[in-house]
Structure 1
Amino acid sequence: MMDESLRELYQEVILDHSRHPRHFGPLEHATHDGQGHNPLCGDRVTVHLIVDGEDRIQRITFEGRGCAISQASASLMTDMLTGRTVGEAEELMNGFLHLVKGEDASDLAEDDLDRLQVMAGVSAFPMRVKCATLAWHTMKSALENGASQAEAAKTE
């Protein structure tokens, strides 16, 4: 059971990221874009990335609207993925998905787990898991779409 003061701190972090999202807005010259929508609650997110030739995420931003959980999760995600490789981003996403589903997330690095722990309480509310994971799934889709677009451009 989570300590009440810790729960309050986590709620404050979520509200801060929701009210003052990091990396929010369009991104000129994005190499990858993805759009996500949660029809159950109406949350919408667009993720923009610039991935360099070494598969490193140079910049990542998001746009959209939704509940505090979806916006905070997108903000936290963009904050954590800047500078990581695509492979590292996918590993982080998998660990995050385990965490918010209430599964074993011990595959996350300790500092990543510490930062993402604020979202762990979502696992108690299955309908909110989709809110928390929307931006992450959209980022993965953007990476997959961008990769296929880049391959198509090479073959033209």
Structure 2
Amino acid sequence: MPSEQDIYEEHVLDHYEDPYHRGPLESATHADEGKNPLCGDVVQVSLRLSDDGRIEEAWFEGEGCVISQASASMLIEKVEGKTLDEVKAFSADEMLELFGPKLTPNRQKCCLLSWRVLQSAIHAPVDAGDSEDDSDGPHFGGPSLSEES
């Protein structure tokens, strides 16, 4: 079993301290948010998809442990420019491999949170605001990840 020290390898800390595309994406066409109920980590993924189904831009926001936030940064960097088919084919095992250090099952959930949100976000177009009830901000389609068992 790896020590806590091993988990926080240099590249993990680099992504945590200087994340790739962390912040809002005003021109998002697709987005979703998820929470890890075990520890409270939260990640929102926002995407701008091209007409031909390619991720032109990807950003994330969130709060949580080093693992959840660093893995979100790594994933966002990896998927920019990919097609939707490539993103759909990117597996949970590949996400854990991308992260690097071996993780306990509970810590794997932290790492896979952004991957789960990304997989949901590609199916969740941002509501263009056509409805009159626009006071609550943007609305995202699809099931809530916090409702999963």
Whether TM-score is above 0.5 comes out as: yes
Q: Is the 8 A contact 2:99 2:111 kept in 1?
A: no
Structure 2: any 5+ residue segments left out of the alignment?
A: 129-149
Letter of the 2:109 partner, please give it.
K
Give the aligned partner of residue 41 of structure 1. Answer: 39
Q: Tell me how far 1:73 sits from its aligned partner.
A: 0.6
Report Cα offsets for 1:46-86 as digits up to 9, x if no partner: 10000011000000000011101101110000000000001
Identity of aligned residues (%): 41
Structure 1 moving runs of 4+ over 6 Å: none
Which of 30, 33, 44 pairs up with 1:32? 30
Q: How many residues align?
A: 127
Match 1:90 to one of 78, 88, 91: 88
Give the secondary structure class of the aligned counterpart of 1:33: strand
**1:113-132 paired onto structure 2 within 5 Å:** 116=98, 118-119=100-101, 121-122=102-103, 125-132=104-111
Give the structure-1-normalised TM-score.
0.73
Supply the RMSD in Å over aligned alpha carbons.
2.6
Separation in 1, partners of 2:41, 2:7: 24
Query: What TM-score, normalized by structure 2, do the two folds share?
Result: 0.76
- For 1:79 and 1:85, how far apart are their aligned partners in 2? 14
Once the two structures are superposed, the pairs formed by residues 4-153 of structure 1 within 5 Å of their partners are 11-92=9-90, 94=91, 97-99=92-94, 116=98, 118-119=100-101, 121-122=102-103, 125-146=104-125
Asked if structure 1 preserves the Cα contact closer than 8 Å seen for 2:49 and 2:55, the reply is yes
